[in-house]
Structure 1
Amino acid sequence: MMKESEKLVEEALNGSPEHPHVMRYVGIFFRDQGSIDRSVALLKKALESSPNSCFTHHQLALCFKNKKMNLQRERRDTEVVDEARDKSIYHLEKATSIKASFIIAMSELALQYAERGDLYMAEGLFETTFKTATETNDHLHVVHFHYAQFQQYSIRREDLAIQHYKECLAIGPHTGEGTRSAQKLMKIAQKHIKDDPNDWKANEIVGLIYQVKGEMWQDNECHAKASSNEEDDEYLKNLDELMSFQ
């Protein structure tokens, strides 16, 4: 069954090497299967015929990002981790140079700059990305999520991280970033409540999470009655993750 799926993916890639939906599918498919090298090989092949495809560069960047995280979990040498990160940055830079308003890639690139230690470049790119996302009303929740991570892990400003996780959750509660923001907020709150059960800010965060959960649960019931499609499946997956806090 897997070989048949791979064959169909290759046929789709060869038939529409520049189609963004095909690019996303190929990248997600092989990454989900843990076949990052296979995904990289196919995407590089597609890049040969369409070198200016920002979507292909973006998918390659995500592949190398996943590879970097795997190497970090395996506690591999810093050099190989840095190499994977640099490749991810390279393809993100290519993607954003081809499409200047590629907000998701811009936001990811800023975060990768920060992880590499280029905090000034990261801050400047985040500023540009926020402006573009606000003007176009496009993927603003993603920028808030990545900026929250930047504040939490690179700048060590937990207060600003909390602020932007909240913004992400408010704008995109049904999205993957919204779910992960809720998870980040809950972990922060639990840490503070463990030290001081009466910490009002931490308890306020917990209240916010449960308020959002309740609203999402009501919305879910409406969605279930209305239809069952791919978007709803993703919604339910995110909801299940959020409900697991209980």
Structure 2
Amino acid sequence: MEQLLSPSNMSEESHKSHIRDSLDELRCHFTWELDIKDKHIHDLEIKISETEFRDPIYSIGMHNLLAYVRHLKEQQEEALQSLHEAEALIQSEQLSKRSLVTWGNCAWLHYHRGSLAEAQIYLDKVEKVCKEFSSPFRYRLECAEMDCEEGWALRKCGSQNYTRAMACFERALKVEPENPEYNAGYADVAYHLDYYDGNSLQPLKKAVSVKPEDPYLKVLLALKLQDLRKTDEAEKHIKEATLTISSQNNIFGYVAKFYRRKGCVEEALGFLKKALETKPSSPYLHFQIGLCHKTQFFQMKKATSRENRKRADQSCHLAICHFKKALELKPTYDRAYIDLAEVYAKNHQQKEAEDNFQEVLSMSNLGDYMQQEIHFRYGNFQQYYKKSEEAAITHYLKGLKIEVTSHYRDKLLKALEELAEGRKEDHVLESLSLLGFVYRLRGDTREAMSCYEKALRLTGAVNPEF
């Protein structure tokens, strides 16, 4: 027989339920439905801990996010300490609306710790500010500042949250179109979502115009201009940025990427080594250093002189070491597996290359753009190193069946077209079907129909896959 609740227990349960209902109304990390995979929690904590706080407002947001991540790891005392640090900054900056996120997180954390009285104290603080700004909600304030806070939280939690982050910054900009922070957030997310058509260029230019003192934005703009082959303008912004980033080593990785892509690998390594002095455990920096040595190795691989062959071997060794270090620090680093695999392949270590490709091919929850890239690069490996055109075709097709527009989609189409053209004599029916498929995806209906009609004349049927 169930034990009946006493009136006092019923009252306690009712109070707890009431507190919980109030908490659900808050806008904070506990209610934003941040998509953080369990396997990424440790990586995210390290990334936050290594972040250099540019200003107090940014610091408050990062302390709040760190508190939430530590809560997910069931480190409640450490989470509370992070929130206390955020509270101290709130008091020194005399913030009101932005305080709601920290107080909301405090209320939630105390609730999870079983401290209902403490949770109520923070709910009361939130309610007071909501009344001050005439909010129609008791514990919720709809405003641009809160949209911005939510946007940054989503931005920091991985690419699976970027689209929602952009929507948050968009809402904030509708209220204050010239606000530097809102423009910076929107441009930052736009850049990281811009896989193909340069849509982030104008947001980045706008952000730099309203926040010219921010070198990070200038570096992102330079990288996007470099993507679009506007080299003179890109150089102008990268040079302006490098004059002001001596104390912001987190930007050096992006600067190094610019110079590596430009072909100035030694200059890129100089920036990366400087950054690594203060962040020796940064997987991103080790990955970027690995890319520099990979570039040098690929350039020198065909060297004939004994000295250059020795330098090529050294670059190969360093590339492998830094990619491995990046993976040791961040075992979910998808691109590090791919680049490590390609170095092994170039160095005639096919088993090691295959093993690393299989690691990334077996990963779950990868974005569509990343999956396209993986199938293209693994297809290349099969075609040029394993000499298996059939396996290459399989992966090029898998990549193309992911229906997103990107640079890698174009590369997949070109690779499949060239492979089909080269196999026409020995595999005429398959080649015609593949070429028809390529033309159809490019929107060239006339050429696609021509290929399919030729295939039909040969067999009376076309592979339904195409």
**TM-score normalized with structure 1 length:** 0.74
Shift of 1:119: 1.9
Shift of 1:30: 0.7
Shift of 1:6: 4.5
CA distance in 2, matches of 1:3, 1:181: 31
- Say if 1:83 and 1:182 are closer, same or farther in 2 by CA, change over 3 A: farther
- Give RMSD over aligned pairs: 2.6
Q: Does 1:60 align with 2:289?
A: yes
Tell me the equivalent position of 1:158: 389
Percent identity over the alignment is 25
Shift of 1:118: 2.1
- Say if 1:203 and 1:60 are closer, same or farther in 2 by CA, change over 3 A: same
> Which amino acid counterpart does residue 344 of structure 2 have in structure 1?
Y
**Secondary structure of the equivalent of 1:156?**
coil
CA distance in 1, matches of 2:255, 2:376: 25
> Which amino acid counterpart does residue 274 of structure 2 have in structure 1?
K
**1 or 2, which has the higher helix percentage?**
1
Matches within 5 A, 1:142-221: 142-171=373-402, 173-193=404-424, 195=425, 199-214=428-443
Matches within 5 A, 1:130-145: 130-132=361-363, 135-138=364-367, 139-145=370-376
CA distance in 2, matches of 1:31, 1:116: 21
Shift of 1:158: 0.9
Tell me the equivalent position of 2:154: none
Moved more, 182-191 or 115-124: 115-124
1:141-181 alpha-carbon deviations (Å, 9 max, x no partner): 22212211221122111100111122122226522222222
> Which amino acid counterpart does residue 91 of structure 1 have in structure 2?
H
Task: Verify the 8 A CA contact 1:47 1:56 in the aligned structure 2.
Answer: yes
Shift of 1:49: 0.8
- Say if 1:184 and 1:43 are closer, same or farther in 2 by CA, change over 3 A: same
Tell me the equivalent position of 1:51: 280
Moved more, 201-210 or 174-183: 174-183
- Say if 1:13 and 1:205 are closer, same or farther in 2 by CA, change over 3 A: farther
Q: Does 1:42 align with 2:274?
A: no
Q: Does 1:109 align with 2:364?
A: no
> Which amino acid counterpart does residue 42 of structure 1 have in structure 2?
F
CA distance in 1, matches of 2:283, 2:428: 46
CA distance in 2, matches of 1:183, 1:82: 32
CA distance in 2, matches of 1:75, 1:200: 43
**Secondary structure of the equivalent of 2:401?**
helix
CA distance in 2, matches of 1:150, 1:7: 37
For structure 2, the residue ranges without an aligned partner over 5 or more in a row are 1-231, 445-466
Moved more, 74-83 or 97-106: 74-83
- Say if 1:4 and 1:141 are closer, same or farther in 2 by CA, change over 3 A: closer
> Which amino acid counterpart does residue 120 of structure 1 have in structure 2?
K
- Say if 1:72 and 1:121 are closer, same or farther in 2 by CA, change over 3 A: closer
> Which amino acid counterpart does residue 110 of structure 1 have in structure 2?
A
Task: Verify the 8 A CA contact 1:107 1:142 in the aligned structure 2.
Answer: no
CA distance in 2, matches of 1:155, 1:3: 40
CA distance in 1, matches of 2:342, 2:298: 14
CA distance in 1, matches of 2:255, 2:265: 11
CA distance in 1, matches of 2:270, 2:372: 31
Of the three residues 249, 256, 259, the one matched with 1:17 is 249
Shift of 1:31: 2.2
- Say if 1:86 and 1:174 are closer, same or farther in 2 by CA, change over 3 A: farther
**Secondary structure of the equivalent of 1:18?**
helix
Number of aligned positions between the proteins: 208
More RCO (CA 8 Å, sep 6+): 1
CA distance in 2, matches of 1:209, 1:26: 37
Task: Verify the 8 A CA contact 1:141 1:172 in the aligned structure 2.
Answer: no
**TM-score normalized with structure 2 length:** 0.41
Tell me the equivalent position of 1:27: 256
CA distance in 2, matches of 1:12, 1:213: 44
Task: Verify the 8 A CA contact 2:373 2:408 in the aligned structure 1.
Answer: yes
Shift of 1:62: 1.7
CA distance in 2, matches of 1:10, 1:165: 40
- Say if 1:50 and 1:170 are closer, same or farther in 2 by CA, change over 3 A: same
- Say if 1:82 and 1:208 are closer, same or farther in 2 by CA, change over 3 A: farther
- Say if 1:75 and 1:169 are closer, same or farther in 2 by CA, change over 3 A: farther
**Secondary structure of the equivalent of 2:323?**
helix
Tell me the equivalent position of 1:235: none
> Which amino acid counterpart does residue 159 of structure 1 have in structure 2?
E
Task: Verify the 8 A CA contact 1:96 1:102 in the aligned structure 2.
Answer: yes
- Say if 1:80 and 1:169 are closer, same or farther in 2 by CA, change over 3 A: farther
Q: Does 1:71 align with 2:300?
A: yes
Shift of 1:102: 0.6
Moved more, 30-39 or 163-172: 163-172
CA distance in 2, matches of 1:61, 1:153: 22
- Say if 1:74 and 1:125 are closer, same or farther in 2 by CA, change over 3 A: closer
